[in-house]
Amino acid sequence: MLTLTNVTKKFGELVAVNDLSFSVEDGQIFGIAGPNGAGKSTVYNLITGFYPYEGRIEFNGRELSGMPPYKIAKAGIARTFQIPQIFPSLTVEKSISVGSRFGSRDGLDEDHVAEIIRFVELSEEKNQKTGHLNLLGKKKLMIGAALATKPRMLMLDEPMAGSNANEIKALMDLIRRINAEMGLTIIIIEHFMKVLTELTEKLLIIESGAMICCDVPEVATSDKRVIESYIGDAYVER
């Protein structure tokens, strides 16, 4: 579904992404992890068209290079951000309607909006101003607005950030349902390794913009290079 081949991004002398290649299969939950500053969010920004790059990115066989973000979104890629991006003066229903208008060729799809509100469990809050939602509600809203565009792939940028244990469980359950019931491919950037090991089928670990490891979570998290990257080489068995 998604393939990156020899992708490199430089900001002046800084190499933010370094000759990165990986593939995400249709229907997969795929995780991306790495230390702070590893280049994770830059990878998201390259996929979604915010920066030019060297190399090749393909989605469903279509080259994305040079496409603006709105065309990439129209092609079926939706994303969220670490800090919830909301319209505080709009209601939940109106906010999700914005995504529906963007994702439908025929304009607003009211039935789809109602279904998304139900799916993300915001029915009781649908007439509430989004600025009054709690953190979990805002995260559900942002995911719902992304789903309203009718994507084929959903990219989540640190969805658990700032959440407590109960909120993390609720978000993990929602992500599993999106994958299982909607059949969407999902990519997740996340600092909570436990979340990634429980949710994902494949895990990419990067450092300084380059791949350290890409494998099933059990293998990726036991890789010596990954352990060195996260907690230092003193903890690696020799």
pLDDT digits (tens, 9 = 90+) for 71-80: 999 899 999 9
pLDDT digits (tens, 9 = 90+) for 9-24: 999 999 999 999 999 9
So what's the pLDDT on residue 78?
95
Residue 41 has pLDDT above 70, yes or no: yes
Q: Structure tokens of 129?
A: 């101003």
- Residues pairing with 21 in the sheet: none
If asked whether residues 175 and 132 sit together in one domain, one would say no
Range of the domain at 127: 84-150
If asked whether residues 169 and 225 sit together in one domain, one would say yes
If asked whether residues 68 and 157 sit together in one domain, one would say yes
Band the pLDDT of 37: cuts 50, 70, 90.
confident
* Domain endpoint, select from 150, 176, 198: 150
Alpha-carbon distance of 96 to 160, in angstroms, equals 21
* Domain endpoint, select from 128, 150, 172: 150
Burial status of residue 81 (CB atoms within 10 A of its CB: 0-12, 13-18, 19 or more): middle
Tokens 């979570």 sit at which residue?
217
Q: Structure tokens of 85?
A: 């991006």
Q: Which of 95, 96, 21, 81 is nearest to 56 (CA)?
A: 21
If asked whether residues 206 and 100 sit together in one domain, one would say no
pLDDT digits (tens, 9 = 90+) for 116-141: 999 999 999 999 999 999 999 999 99
If asked whether residues 70 and 156 sit together in one domain, one would say yes
If asked whether residues 165 and 60 sit together in one domain, one would say yes
So what's the pLDDT on residue 105?
61
CATH of the domain at 208: 3.40.50.300
Alpha-carbon distance of 92 to 129, in angstroms, equals 6
* Domain endpoint, select from 93, 121, 150: 150
Number of domains in the chain: 2
If asked whether residues 143 and 183 sit together in one domain, one would say no
Within 10 angstroms of residue 37's Cβ, the number of other Cβ atoms is 12
If asked whether residues 3 and 121 sit together in one domain, one would say no
If asked whether residues 144 and 161 sit together in one domain, one would say no
pTM: 0.90
If asked whether residues 52 and 90 sit together in one domain, one would say no
If asked whether residues 39 and 145 sit together in one domain, one would say no
Give strand ranges (E) for the chain: 2-11, 14-24, 29-33, 54-59, 62-63, 77-79, 153-157, 185-189, 202-207, 210-215
Q: 234: which DSSP letter?
A: G
Q: 123: which DSSP letter?
A: G
Burial 179-199 (b: 16+ CB within 10 A, else e): beeeebbbbbbbebbebbbeb
Higher pLDDT, 238 or 104: 104
If asked whether residues 67 and 168 sit together in one domain, one would say yes
DSSP states along 166-225: HHHHHHHHHHHHHHHHH--EEEEE-S-HHHHHHH-SEEEEEETTEEEEEE-HHHHTT-HH
